[in-house]
Chains A and B, each alone.
Chain A
Amino acid sequence: AQTVTQSQPEMSVQEAETVTLSCTYDTSESDYYLFWYKQPPSRQMILVIRQEAYKQQNATENRFSVNFQKAAKSFSLKISDSQLGDAAMYFCAYRSANFGNEKLTFGTGTRLTIIP
């Protein structure tokens, strides 16, 4: 079974600064997908960024980018130019590429606080 670990329960960053959220995972599979979801106080789960394991290039979405290290099974999220609206819980998630096993497995989350 796959596991996802987020070792930082809480992080804080000054507005306009850069912050990196850590995520590691354990799997025996070679093909899979990784995601970061954001959960603001409204509790909705919002997709932030995704990464296919077979792609070496790190994904980027505007101010959000990842550092994907497949050998180390690490998938960190970097938020540049942090904004007040970035304050939320951030969940790292794993999804197998095997048919019939397409559920998301989530980490325990990191609560990000933005300091004005």
Chain B
Amino acid sequence: EPEVTQTPSHQVTQMGQEVILRCVPISNHLYFYWYRQILGQKVEFLVSFYNNEISEKSEIFDDQFSVERPDGSNFTLKIRSTKLEDSAMYFCASSDGTAGNSPLHFGNGTRLTVT
């Protein structure tokens, strides 16, 4: 079964540094998402992306964050200047539609640790 793949599985960075989290969605999917989960807390929506543009973003997704689909396969999340509170598990997800029979498929996540 096709999978969403995320790299790296764990990223450690210093406060103020830029990080890029990478995702390869399922190949025929059109809708892409980033979520984050701070340790022990719920999964929070960051941004959705469709037709090469952001379709929705949350309050968390401020100017420090950006997303890009640089080619036909990758979907990246960039954090320009990381803060301690950005430490979390970041999940990429994709779907082939917006209906209930097009559920989100999640990757295994990237654990980001900001020191």
Q: Give the interface of A toward B (CB within 8 A).
A: 33, 35, 37, 42-47, 50-52, 91, 95, 97, 99-109
Q: Give the interface of B toward A (CB within 8 A).
A: 31, 33, 35, 41-45, 48, 55-56, 58, 89, 91, 93, 95, 98-101, 103-109, 111
Q: Known contacts being A45-B91, A108-B42, A109-B42, is A102 close to B106, with CB within 8 Å?
A: no
In the complex, besides A91-B42, A102-B56, 13 extra interface pairs with C-beta distance below 8 angstroms are A35-B103, A42-B108, A44-B106, A45-B106, A47-B105, A50-B100, A52-B100, A100-B55, A103-B33, A106-B42, A108-B41, A108-B42, A109-B42
- Which 4 pairs across A and B sit closest by C-beta, in order of nearness? A33-B100, A45-B106, A102-B98, A106-B43
Within 8 Å CB of A104, what residues of B? 33, 35, 43, 45, 93, 104
